[in-house]
Amino acid sequence: MARRKRMRAALRGRAPGQALERSCWAEGHEVVVGMDEVGKGAWAGPLTVGAVVSNRNRRIMGVRDSKMLNESEREALYGRIIGWAEDWAVGHASNDECDALGMSDAQRLAAARALDCLGVSPDIVLLDGRWDFVGGGIARTIVGGDATCLSIAAASVVAKVTRDRIMREADGLFPGYGFAEGKGYPNPTHRSALMVRGATTYHRRSWSFMDGLPALGAPRRRPVGTHPQLFD
């Protein structure tokens, strides 16, 4: 049997736990879902929300908030998380939907899609931060939840790995923008490619980074209304 790689010293002693999940179970909530998003600040690619139904009968070690982990650590955890979880799902809002709806409604859409893909109906959803992007009276927000709540941290890894894989595929379609390394976020490689080649169909083209780009590639978008398809 292969030995599991030893955890980096910087990650030891920082494990999220199931105290929040246990309190929800004690209150009578049978299906407890952790959710987290990734990609909100990217210039290209989808906004992605992960949902993980916490398993009360099995333990899992090594889970951390995805931002604390490097890419190889997240990839190694991904398979273990989906094998441990009672259920899991991922929902996306495409870059086109981010343009059309705005980021708040796009995040709500991605979250709704993730919940719709679960095979169970959540009794309660645990969210990192202060904003309830789920609605319906079933969410509980936790500041710092991605660092302290196991199901939220697990959802952050699932969302991040899934979106990163999409952006690596995008890199093959649109080389030169650094999508494989930067995952669509702004960095010098990405900025330089935009100035030389213009935007791609993966870009959020209603955003201000499009101002001043050369008239190449996919065109600028300017929303002219609230309907998802209204652009000038």
pLDDT for residue 5: 61
Dig out the tokens for 40 from the structure: 């909100």
Whether residue 189 contacts residue 178, with contact meaning beta carbons closer than 8 Å, is answered with: yes
Q: Is residue 150 in a domain?
A: yes
With a cut of 80, say whether residue 9 has pLDDT above it.
no
* pLDDT per position as a tens digit, 139-159: 999 999 999 999 999 999 999
Q: How would residue 230 be classed by pLDDT, with cut points 50, 70 and 90? A: very low
pLDDT above 90 coverage of the chain, percent: 81
Say if 58 falls within a structural domain: yes
Give the Cα separation of 81 and 71 in Å (integer): 15
What is the per-residue pLDDT for 202? 97
Whether 220 maps to a domain, the answer reads: no
Residue 73 — very low, low, confident or very high, per pLDDT cuts 50/70/90? Answer: very high
- CATH code, domain carrying 132: 3.30.420.10
> Rounded mean pLDDT of the chain?
91
Q: Is 172 exposed, middle or buried (0-12, 13-18, 19+ CB in 10 A)?
A: exposed
Confidence of residue 223 (pLDDT cuts 50, 70, 90): low
Q: How far, in Å, CA of 186 to CA of 156, rounded?
A: 21
Confidence of residue 188 (pLDDT cuts 50, 70, 90): very high
Residue 108 lies inside a defined structural domain of this protein:
yes
Tokens of 182: 């930067």
What range does the domain containing 97 cover?
16-166
What pLDDT band is residue 12 in, cutting at 50, 70 and 90?
Answer: low
In this prediction the pTM is 0.90
* Domain annotation covers residue 205: no
User: Who has greater pLDDT, 75 or 12?
Assistant: 75
User: Does 228 map to a domain?
Assistant: no
Number of independent structural domains in the chain: 1
Nearest Cα to Cα of residue 35 among 161, 141, 183: 141
Q: What is the pLDDT of residue 11?
A: 65
